[in-house]
Structure 1
Amino acid sequence: MTRESLKSQRDLEVYQMAFNAAMSIFELSKKFPVEERYSLTDQIRRSSRSVCANLAEAWRKRLYEAAFVAKLSDSSAEAAETQTWIEFAVECNYLSAETGRELYKTYNSILGMLVTMIHNSDKWVISANKNR
């Protein structure tokens, strides 16, 4: 799929990866202890979902490069936050070390894709001269 053929953020590989990771975290976090409901469970779900939400906002702000990069940066920050919550979940024995490693690795890939988009933001921005 070329950049020109992308219709929405849902077509981005990074969005799909982040969405699937967030859904995995949602399912896995159902098994977290009830006393974590308003702390770790909420935090890891919120940050993982926020990666996708910020990508959606970035996609809609492609007319302005600075706004686009700012939302990608927010998405990147949420991905890094999610990694921190994954570490806590493993350390608290709510996730196995192997599951934690796999999720962490997925978020490393997401972060890499976001950084690449940030460094190549000019290729993603909608020019006033291009057809929309």
Structure 2
Amino acid sequence: MSFKFEKLIIWQKSMDFGELIFKLSQKFPKDEMFNLTSQIRRASDSIALNISEGSILQSKLEFKKFLGYSIRSLAETVTCLYKAKNREYITEEEFSKLYNESYNLMNQIVAFRNQIKE
């Protein structure tokens, strides 16, 4: 037995992405714990959370709205990655890898949302 969202590739990938962000943020300075560390973790976790929450709704329009929330959380995560790079908490290589992951995930969520017929 499983929930409908567990079969969604975008949910699976967003779960993996959230774990990558969590691991990366563990090396941020301690004085960022309640700022950037918390923000990037919450934003990246919200991607999968909104996909799962939206998937159980009866309305396709509502599901599309929650996918929009996921996209916005992903954009927020990317902005946090820029902040981390600019503050030299992560390397250019780490940034590029996660930026590319973000871009691919964004495109997949957008494509999935566009396939939903109202």
CA-to-partner distance for each residue in 1:64-117, whole Å, 9 max, x for gaps?
121011000001100111011011111111111111111111111111111112
1:25 aligns with 2:21: yes
User: Which stretches of structure 1, 4 residues or more, deviate above 2 A after TM superposition?
Assistant: none
Alignment correspondent of 2:59: 64
What is the alpha-carbon distance in structure 1 between the residues aligned to residue 110 and residue 73 of structure 2?
A: 13
Normalising by structure 2, we get a TM-score of 0.93
Alignment correspondent of 2:96: 101
Gaps of 5+ in 1: 1-5, 126-132
Normalising by structure 1, we get a TM-score of 0.83
Paired residues for 1:43-54 under 5 Å: 43-54=39-50
Structure with bigger helix share is: 2
What is the alpha-carbon distance in structure 2 between the residues aligned to residue 89 and residue 11 of structure 1?
A: 32
Number of residues of Structure 1 aligned to a counterpart in Structure 2: 117
| TM-superposed deviation, 1:7 | 4.9
What is the alpha-carbon distance in structure 1 between the residues aligned to residue 44 and residue 68 of structure 2?
A: 14
Gaps of 5+ in 2: none
CA-to-partner distance for each residue in 1:20-40, whole Å, 9 max, x for gaps?
111111111111001100000
1:91 aligns with 2:94: no
Q: Which amino acid is the alignment partner of residue 11 of structure 1? A: K
What is the alpha-carbon distance in structure 2 between the residues aligned to residue 14 and residue 102 of structure 1?
A: 18
Give 1:113's match in structure 2, choosing from 98, 104, 108. Answer: 108
1:34 aligns with 2:30: yes
Alignment correspondent of 1:130: none
| TM-superposed deviation, 1:13 | 1.5
| Secondary structure at the counterpart of residue 44 of structure 2 | helix
Q: Which has the larger radius of gyration?
A: 1
What is the alpha-carbon root mean square deviation over aligned residues?
Answer: 1.4
Paired residues for 1:69-80 under 5 Å: 69-80=64-75
| TM-superposed deviation, 1:12 | 1.6
